[in-house]
Chains A and B, each alone.
Chain A
Amino acid sequence: MIFSFYHILILIVFGFFVGLIGSVMGIGGGAFIVPFLVIVFNIPIKSAIAVSLLSIIATSSSVASVNVEKGLANVRVGIFFELTMAVGSVTATYLMMGINSSILQILFSFMLLPTALSMYIKSRKPTKDIADTVAFHNDNNSEIYSYYDPSVKRTVFYSVKNKGSGFILSFFGGMMSGLFGLGGGIVQVPVMNMICNIPMKVATATSNFMIGLSASASVLILWSKNYLINDVAFFLIIGVILGGFVGMKFLYRAKNSTIQLIFSILLMITSIRMIIGVFR
């Protein structure tokens, strides 16, 4: 592949926007990177997935390095859900070779739509933050966590509900990584926010913390089989890291309902794009 300054510039600018969206939404941006590299750069899909997964590790590491220190990412919940996420990621790598990906893609797309709709409805409701309600009515003796939220200028307390359901569903987050080259945040964030009642900001920060691990499980294999295009990965990641740091400033100050709204629209677009992709 002939690599010009123009290509480098496109990769850095595109990476910047992916990093921006990824850090705010808690996703790796694989849903954007893979089609972009295939369509614009004419890169084979397996190489695009390898580049996407490496970029997910970079996003996850750079964004999580700040969020972990600030106490925004819930490390304990992250580790607990990573148990099944890692199993899902490893399992999916084997399944990818044997199962018809179109069937899985349809199932995944139809699973995303109701999630997106319910999250959209939730973001439009002028209700009290989940975190407050949980802190005031924590009668199930579960662990209480907290983080400082500059958008409301106070420390917010919350507890994690339905840990078992989140634990099981994280498996599917890992599956997304191995099957489609996604980080898994597109499953992980709604699971943590809607099922486990984790505030949106903490859910996105924790998801960012988690997705790098599932990506690293798959990318090492693709890298050892020479699927990774180093130049493309390097310049894309430079943009992703820059975008990630800008996005984090927004995440820390943004309202939970704003993030929910953006995320629900993003989910709908991804879902529709995947359905169209299968029937095209």
Chain B
Amino acid sequence: MKKEEKKLLSAVSFSLRMGVFLFIILGAISYLPLRYSSFIMDLGIFFLILTPLLRIIILCIGLWHIGDRRYSVYAFLVFVIIISGFLFKSG
């Protein structure tokens, strides 16, 4: 595996880990007697839902950067499909 590709996969891996980590941390904090505990839990859920979308963006940019234009375009199209789905549903 090339060094650049390893870096990209590490970045994807890190983004996935961060989404789950933020969800757990914010979820745990929300059980403390705080004023905005429900908002904190919602924020954690929001980060978790966005995690798969974030890794698609990272892959799109990363693959373009390492010269794999074809798969970068595929990643971009996946992102467009998901966002279009949200827009149609909420519209």
Q: Tell me, yes or no, whether A60 is within 8 Å of chain B by CB.
A: yes
Q: Is the CB of B78 within 8 A of A221?
A: no
Would A90 and B82 be within 8 Å (CB), given that A68-B13, A69-B13, A238-B24 are in contact? yes
Q: Tell me, yes or no, whether A217 is within 8 Å of chain B by CB.
A: yes
Q: Is the CB of B13 within 8 A of A79?
A: no
Interface size class of A (residues with CB under 8 A): 35 or more
16 pairs, CB–CB < 8 Å, chain A vs chain B: A58-B20, A62-B20, A64-B13, A68-B12, A68-B16, A80-B71, A82-B56, A83-B74, A83-B77, A83-B81, A86-B85, A213-B53, A216-B49, A216-B50, A220-B86, A237-B24
Chain B's closest residue to A235 (CB) is B27
Chain A's closest residue to B17 (CB) is A65
Interface of A is mostly: helix
Q: Tell me, yes or no, whether A42 is within 8 Å of chain B by CB.
A: no
Question: Told that A58-B23, A230-B45, A237-B24 touch, could you supply 14 new A-B pairs with CB distance under 8 A?
Answer: A54-B48, A61-B20, A75-B9, A76-B68, A80-B71, A89-B85, A90-B81, A90-B84, A90-B88, A213-B52, A213-B56, A217-B82, A219-B49, A234-B41
Interface string of A193-226 (1 = CB under 8 A from B): 0000000000000000000110111011101100
- CB interface residues, B 50-68, toward A, < 8 Å: 50-53, 56, 59, 68
Residues of B within 8 A of A90 (CB): 81-82, 84-85, 88
Q: Which of A68, A221, A223, A234 contacts B27 (CB 8 A)?
A: A234
Residues of A within 8 A of B20 (CB): 58, 61-62, 65, 241
Q: Considering the complex of A and B, which 5 residue pairs feature the smallest CB-CB distances, nearest first?
A: A90-B85, A65-B16, A212-B52, A213-B52, A69-B13
Interface string of A122-134 (1 = CB under 8 A from B): 0000000000000
Residues of A within 8 A of B90 (CB): 221, 224
Interface size class of B (residues with CB under 8 A): 35 or more
Q: Is the CB of A62 within 8 A of B16?
A: yes
**Measured between alpha carbons, how far is A207 from B59 in the docked complex, in Å?**
17
**Measured between alpha carbons, how far is A82 from B45 in the docked complex, in Å?**
23
Q: Tell me, yes or no, whether A228 is within 8 Å of chain B by CB.
A: yes
Would A75 and B12 be within 8 Å (CB), given that A60-B52, A65-B20, A234-B27 are in contact? yes
Q: Tell me, yes or no, whether A246 is within 8 Å of chain B by CB.
A: no
Q: Tell me, yes or no, whether B1 is within 8 Å of chain A by CB.
A: yes
Q: Which of B14, B41, B56, B74 contacts A80 (CB 8 A)?
A: B74
* Shortest CB distance B38–A (Å): 8
Q: Tell me, yes or no, whether A43 is within 8 Å of chain B by CB.
A: no
Residues of A within 8 A of B (CB): 54, 57-58, 60-62, 64-66, 68-69, 71, 75-76, 79-80, 82-83, 86-87, 89-90, 93, 212-213, 215-217, 219-221, 223-224, 228, 230, 233-234, 237-238, 241
* Shortest CB distance A154–B (Å): 16
In this complex, which of B17, B38, B81 has the most chain A Cβ atoms within 10 angstroms of its Cβ? B81
- CB interface residues, B 11-36, toward A, < 8 Å: 12-14, 16-17, 19-20, 23-24, 27, 30
Q: Tell me, yes or no, whether B3 is within 8 Å of chain A by CB.
A: no
Would A216 and B71 be within 8 Å (CB), given that A66-B13, A75-B12, A241-B24 are in contact? no
Residues of A within 8 A of B10 (CB): 69
* Shortest CB distance B67–A (Å): 13
Residues of A within 8 A of B59 (CB): 75, 79
Q: Is the CB of A82 within 8 A of B78?
A: yes
Chain B's closest residue to A89 (CB) is B85
